[in-house]
Amino acid sequence: MLKFIAKRVLFLIPIMLGVMVIVFAIRAITPGNPVDSLLSEDATEEQRAELTAELGLDQPLPVQFVRYVGDAITGDLGTSYTTKQPVLQELLTRLPISLIVCFGAVAIGVLLGVPLGTLSAVKQYSWTDSVVRILSMVFAATPQFCLGLVLIMVFSVQLHWLPSVGLSGPASFILPMATIGLSSLAQYTRITRSSMLEVIRQDYIRTARAKGQTEFAITTRHALRNAFIPIMSQIGNQVGHQLGGALIVENVFGMPGVGKYIGDAITARNFPAIQGGVLMLALIFTIVNLLVDLSFAFINPRLKSSIMNSKAGPIEKWWKARRKKTADVA
C-alpha cells in the first residue's frame, strides 16, 4: 500500500516539471520583451540592461528555465507586472474563493445529480427518466458562460434575489457555484443512472426485496452504495473541469478568484501572473486527481487487496520491519 502511495506521489514530480516546461514555453514563444512592460517608456538603456540582467533574460533559455524551476520550487513565482506584488501572495489570497466555488459546484452537482440519476434509473423509461435526461443534456450543451448569463438574467436582473457580479457576502457564491454545478449535472446523472441500472438487476437486490425491505431502503442502502465507485471517479474527473470552468465563470461573475486573476493577467499580458496561476491550478488539479486515485484504493476492496498483495517494495519492507520492531519493543 505504502509503495503504491509513494509511487503515485513521486509521479507528481515529472508531471509538474512538464507543466513548468509548458508554462515556461508559453512565455518563451510570446513575442515582446517583459522589460518593456515593467519599465516606463522613458527608461534609459542602462536601466533596461540592468533589469534584463536582473530578470536573467540575457541568459540562454535552458539556464532561464532552471532558474525558473528553482524559483518556483522555493515559492517565488515572480512579480506581477501590473501590481508589482509577489504573484504567489496574490494567488494565495484569491485561491480560497476559487476553491469554494469549485467545491461548492461539485457539491451542487453531486447533490442534484446523484438523486436525479438514481430516480431516472429506478423509474427507467418513465417520463421522469425522460425529463431528467433531457434536462441534463441541455445543461451539458450550454457553455458555462451562457448559463451564467441566463442565471444572472433570471435571478439578479428579473427577480432581484441574488447579487449578479462581484463579491459581496456569501450570497455572491451561489450563482457561480450553481452555474458550474448545473453544467456538470449531466455527467453525474448519466454515470449514476448507468451504474444504478447495472446494480438494481442483481440478485442481492431481489433478495433484499424478498426480505420485505422498503423500496427506499433498497435503493439507498443496497443499490446506491454499490453503484458509488464509478460516481466517485466521475467526481474526481469533474474537479479538473471545474477548475477550468471556474476560470470562465469567475470572469462572468467578476469573482476575484484565481480564474479572474488569470483572465485579467491575459488581458494585461502579465506573464508572471499567468504562469503562476496556471502552475497553481495544475498543481491543485494533479493533487486532487491523486487523492481521488488513492481514495479509490481505499474504497474499492478489490483494488485494495490487489495492491496489498502486490510484492512489497523497499519502502514497504522498511516500513513493515520498523513496525515489527516497534511492536516487539512494546
Partner 1 sequence: MAKIKTPTPAMVRYAKKHKRPKTYSPTRDAVKRFVRNRNAIVGFIIIMLLLVIAILAGVIAPYEYQAQDYAAAFQGPSGAHLFGTDNYGRDLFSRCLYGARYTLLLALGCVILAFLTGGALGIIAGYFGGTVDTVIMRCMDVLQAIPQVLLAICITSALGNGVPQMLTAIMFSSMPIMSKNCRAAILNVRNADYVEASRAIGVSEGRMILKHMIPNTVGMMVIYVVGLMGASINIMASLSYLGVGLVPPTPEWGLILSEAKGYFTSFPHMVLFPALMILITILAFNMLGDGLRDALDPRLK
- Where does this chain bind partner 1 (CB under 8 A)? 14-16, 18-19, 21-23, 26-27, 29-31, 137-138, 140-146, 149-150, 152-153, 157, 240-241, 243-245, 247-248, 251-252, 262-263, 266-267, 269, 274, 278, 281-282, 285-286
Minimum Å gap between C-beta 328 and partner 1 is: 42
Q: How many CB atoms lie within 10 A of CB 184?
A: 29
What sign for the dihedral angle of Cα 201, 191, 224, 286? positive
C-beta of 66 vs 153, nearer to partner 1: 153
CB of 112 vs partner 1, minimal distance in Å: 19
Contact of 295 with 225, CB cutoff 8 Å:
no
Q: Which runs of E-coded beta strand occur in the chain?
A: none
What is the DSSP secondary structure assignment for residue 123, as one 8-state letter?
Answer: T
Contact partners, residue 145, CB within 8 Å, separation at least 6:
248, 249, 251, 252
The C-alpha atoms of residue 309 and residue 96 are separated, in whole angstroms, by: 40
Q: Residue 277: which of 260, 258, 264 has the closest Cα?
A: 258
* Residue the block writes with cell 516497534: 326
Question: Shortest gap between Cβ of 184 and partner 1 (angstroms)?
Answer: 13
75: amino acid identity, one letter: G
Taking the least distance from each CB to partner 1, the nearer of 157 and 210 is: 157
Q: Minimal distance in Å, beta carbon 212 to partner 1?
A: 33
Q: Which is nearer to partner 1, 117 or 245 (CB)?
A: 245
How near is the Cβ of 47 to partner 1 at its closest, in Å? Answer: 26
For 226, half-sphere exposure in the C-beta direction (CA atoms, 13 angstrom radius) is 15
Q: In Å, how far are 56, 57, 265, 318 from 81, measured between CA atoms? A: 16, 15, 9, 49
End-to-end Cα separation, the chain, in angstroms: 24
- Smallest distance, Å, CB 128 to partner 1? 17
- Tell the smallest beta-carbon distance from residue 148 to partner 1 (Å): 10
HSE on the CB side for 309, CA within 13 Å?
6
Q: Is 79 helix (H, G, I), strand (E, B) or coil?
A: strand
Q: Tell me which residue of 276, 291, 260, 306 sits closest to 75, measured CA to CA.
A: 276
- For residues 105 and 245, the answer to whether their CB atoms sit within 8 Å is yes
For residue 198, the minimal CB distance to partner 1 (Å) is 11
